Amino acid sequence: MLDSRLRPIIDPPLNALGARLARVGVTANQITLAGALVGIGAGVAIGFRYYLLGLALLLLSRLFDGLDGAVARATTQSNFGGYLDIVSDFAFYIAVPIGFGFAAPGNLPFALILVGSFTLTGISFLAYAVMAAKEGRVTEAHGKKSFFYNTGLAEGTETIITFVLMCILPQYFAMIAMIYAAMCVVTVIQRTLAAKIDFP
């Protein structure tokens, strides 16, 4: 929901830094993999109840997630890069809830529900992108991407905000997880209705 609104604000500084990194030989795929490792590290830190360390790592991971696209735009975008980016994103999205599931036994059912909701959201996102590609649809509302990004209530920005709140207020993990899982379900419904209209 917020991703496309933030793009005009965050893209210029990211693109400037991405261009500098590209000039010294850093590749987009290297940054993507680094972001994935740091994101998984956030989940591990959270699992050991180092919530502030987990918070720092997840924010660093998301910085890398923005920079990889900026470096790709400064050099050459590739289909493999797009594939690697989405796989790395979902590795991060799964690692953080799993971390909270390990952090406290009572968190586990809610962590599983949240991972399930992310799975459904990811499937709806990718299924819509496949159908859009078949029909030749394009959009740059979320920046120049390797495949079609369909908008929804729960997107990357909302996920980061949710994870930040969880790290700051870990005692409220269950409540925050359930609220966000519900937002994910709404997003799946939104995309399903959009697919019904766009791909009759």
pLDDT tens string, the chain, 200 residues long: the values are: 665 666 667 778 887 888 888 889 899 999 999 999 999 999 999 999 999 999 999 999 999 998 998 898 888 888 898 899 999 999 999 999 999 999 998 999 999 999 999 999 999 988 888 888 887 776 655 445 555 567 778 788 899 999 999 999 999 999 999 999 999 999 999 999 988 888 87
Q: Whole-model pTM?
A: 0.85
CB 147 within 8 A of CB 87: no
Could you state, in order of their start, the residue ranges of all structural domains in the chain? Answer: 3-198
| Residue position matching structure tokens 């419904």 | 189
What ranges in 75-151 are assigned the alpha helix state H?
79-103, 108-134
pLDDT, position 142 = 46
pLDDT, position 39 = 97
> Is the domain covering 3-198 a CATH 1.20.120.1760 domain?
yes
